[in-house]
Structure 1
Amino acid sequence: MYKVQPNDAKTNTNNKFRECFYLFARSGQITSLDELTVVMRSLGMSPTIQELAGYLKGKGGKMSFADFLEVMHIHSRAENLPNEVVAAFKAGDADKRGAIPARQLRNLLQNWGEGLSAREVDNIFREANVSNNGSVRYEDFVKIACAPVPDYY
C-alpha cells in the first residue's frame, strides 16, 4: 500500500502563498500596507494602492494567513492580466487584424515600461516560436507569455 501525496496545483499554490506570507509577515500577521504590497506583488499580483488599502481595512488592519488566502482569491478573480494585455493590443490594432509585426512587438518589449533586454526578447520569441520577420497573433502570444513558468526551470 502506498500513501497518496498531495501534489495538486491548489496545494502547491497554497504552499507558495504560505511561504511568501511568512517570509514577509514575520509576526504571523500582515499589519501594514507595505507588507501586503510586497507579499502580493511578490506573488505576481498587481493590485493598486487603493485595492490594497481596502483589503487591509476590510480585515481590521490585521491579516492572518487565512485572511490573506481569502484576499488572494478575491483579487485573482478581479485581476486578469492576459485579458488586460490583449485589450491593450486590440486598442492599438486599428485594422482589427489580430496581429502585430514581430519587429514592432520587439520594440514594445524592449522600450516600453521597464523594458526587456534583447536577449530576454530573443528568449521569449524562441519560446513563442516567433520569427523576427513575421507577424505575431497577439492573443496567441499573450497566452504563451503569460503562462506560468514551470517549477523545473
Structure 2
Amino acid sequence: MARYFKEQDIDEFRECFYLFARSGQITSLDELTVVMRSLGMSPTIQELAGYLKGKGGKMSFADFLEVMHIHSRAENLPNEVVNAFKAGDTDKSGVIPAKQLRNLLQNWGEGLSAREVDNIFREANVTNSGTVRYEDFVKIACAPVPDYY
C-alpha cells in the first residue's frame, strides 16, 4: 500500500491510527469512524461497517492503509463539490459571483479566514468583483499541494 501514498501521508495515517487504536488494532466501528474522519475522509456508517467486517472485525495498520486506499478512490470530493454548486445554480450558468463564493468559504462548514480565502483566490486568479466558473475553481482548489511548498 505504500506505493499509493506519499511517505508524509503514511506518517500522518500512522500517527492518527495509533492515537485512537492504542492496542495496535482497530476493533470497533467508533475507532474506525474517528480515525478516518480525523484524516479528512467522510465514509458512511455502512461503508465503515463493511470495511471492518471485511477485515474480520479487527484492523491492523496495514489493513487500515488498504482501506484508506480503497476509500480514497471511491470518494470523489471534487465531483461532490461541483454537484453541490450545480444544485444551487438555478439558472445553470456555471458561474458564481466572487462575493458569494467568498461568503460561502468564510461562513459555511469550518469557515476559512479572510486571509485563507485571499490566498485561494490569488491561486485561482479570482477577482473580488468578478464571477467564478465553479468547475474551474474546484479543479484548482482541490488540486494536490505540490511537495515543494
TM-score (norm 1): 0.78
Q: 1:5 to 1:116 in 2, by over 3 A?
A: closer
Q: 1:75 to 1:106 in 2, by over 3 A?
A: same
Q: 1:48 to 1:6 in 2, by over 3 A?
A: closer
CA RMSD of aligned residues (A): 4.1
Report SS of the residue matched to 1:7.
Answer: helix
Q: 2: distance between equivalents of 1:3 and 1:106?
A: 31
Deviation digits for residues 66-101 of structure 1 (CA, Å, limit 9, x no counterpart): 321221222122210000000111111122221111
Q: 1: distance between equivalents of 2:10 and 2:102?
A: 37
Displacement after TM superposition at 1:128 (Å)? 1.3
Q: 1:7 to 1:58 in 2, by over 3 A?
A: closer
Q: 1:3 to 1:126 in 2, by over 3 A?
A: closer
Displacement after TM superposition at 1:52 (Å)? 1.6
Q: 1:37 to 1:88 in 2, by over 3 A?
A: same
Q: 1:23 to 1:6 in 2, by over 3 A?
A: closer
Work out the number of aligned pairs and report it.
145
Q: 1:101 to 1:5 in 2, by over 3 A?
A: closer
Report SS of the residue matched to 1:5.
Answer: helix
Q: 1:85 to 1:3 in 2, by over 3 A?
A: closer
Larger Rg: 1
Q: 1:37 to 1:152 in 2, by over 3 A?
A: farther
Q: 1:82 to 1:7 in 2, by over 3 A?
A: closer
Displacement after TM superposition at 1:139 (Å)? 0.8
Q: 1:150 to 1:94 in 2, by over 3 A?
A: same
Q: Give identity over the alignment, percent.
A: 91
- Matches of residues 96-135 of structure 1 in structure 2 within 5 Å? 96-135=92-131
Report SS of the residue matched to 1:26.
Answer: coil
TM-score (norm 2): 0.80
Q: 1: distance between equivalents of 2:39 and 2:18?
A: 13
Q: 1:110 to 1:6 in 2, by over 3 A?
A: closer
